[in-house]
Amino acid sequence: MMLELHDPVVSLMRQVGRDIVMPRYRNLAADEVSEKAANDFVTIADKESELRLAEGLAAILPEAGIIGEEACAADPSILERAGDGLNWIVDPIDGTGNFASGQPPFGIMVALVDGGATLAGWILDPLTGRLCHAMLGGGSHIDGEQVRARESGGELPIAALAVYFMSPEDRADIQRRSQSSFTLVDIPRCAAEQYPRLVLGQNDVSVFARTLPWDHAAGTLFVNEAGGCCQRTDGSPYVVGDLRRGLMGASSPRLWDRAAATLFG
């Protein structure tokens, strides 16, 4: 079934990127951008993208529910069923803050989950057209070519640490532990970009505090199916519907173990 779904899902995502997202890029009126919470933006393009994706995905697989970021913002109770049964998980524009300011990166993310397990995930960069996808047990691909995660090969592992949702105490502890053990780089503020970087040898380690499913369902599967390692900071698997905080990805299991011992040991 997963292979049968792939082409319709990709076609839908590309259509939404072309017809809804990109026409609004650097073309948003002031009243078309608002804040759901401090530094958490939503635009008219997010809302229109999610509606189109939800309609299209419901037509592709009618028996699956829809868990969309903007729908959950309007009705938080929707998120409570994210781990129950078969569901599409939709991030209509990941990296909305970047998109709203007219800067890359941003992306569209879709995943199919069943009982909390991610079966398939797709990550589209509408600017470049790059399509990352993975299927459980089927490997990871970029633009149709199978890929394997690779380390950056630097003297110190390259780490991008998303600490802005951590408490001040936890943030200070992570920053102290990481200083001499990693080459620290800025985060892209876009999971749709951060996860591919772990596979492409650009980053070795990424830490996330907040683990909402639309940000992480597709990306964790993509990294793991590519031979990297993405799991909770205590070493347990990432399960959609589990709203605990804390997630770490690495370009190899070896680097995941090393980072876990350094940052959380």
Which domains, from first to last, does the chain contain? 2-147 (3.30.540.10), 158-263 (3.40.190.80)
pLDDT at 93: 98
Instruction: Give the Cα separation of 9 and 117 in Å (integer).
Output: 19
pLDDT at 176: 86
The model's pLDDT over 21-54, given as tens digits with 9 standing for 90+, comes to 999 999 999 999 998 877 789 999 999 999 999 9
Residue 237 has pLDDT above 90, yes or no: yes
Count of other CB atoms within 10 angstroms of residue 30: 6
Tokens 């790059």 found at: 130
110 closest CA partner among 244, 240, 198:
240
> Would the CA dihedral through 111, 116, 257, 158 be positive or negative?
positive
Instruction: Label residue 264 exposed, middle or buried (CB < 10 Å: 0-12, 13-18, 19+).
Output: middle
Asked if the bond preceding 105 is cis, omega within 30° of 0, the reply is: yes
> Would the CA dihedral through 125, 129, 132, 133 be positive or negative?
positive
Q: Which helix H or strand E contains 218, and what residues bound it?
A: helix 213-225
Split at pLDDT 50, 70, 90, the class of 163 is confident
pLDDT at 120: 98
Q: What is the DSSP string of 37-95?
A: ETTEEEEHHHHHHHHHHHHHHHHH-TTSEEEEHHHHHH-GGGGGGTTSSEEEEEEEEET
Burial string for 54-92 (b: 16+ CB within 10 Å, else e) reads: bebbeebbeebbbbbbbbbbeeeebbeebbeeebbbbbb
| Triad 248, 198, 89: Cα angle to 5° | 65
**CA 31 remoteness from chain centre:** 27
Mean of pLDDT values over 86-93: 98
Q: Which of 38-42, 187-191, 241-245, 247-251 has the lowest mean pLDDT?
A: 38-42
Quote the tokens at residue 181. 């053990």
pLDDT at 49: 98
Tell me if 210 sits within 8 A of 151, measured CB to CB.
no
Residue 204 has pLDDT above 90, yes or no: yes
For residue 115, the one-letter residue type is G
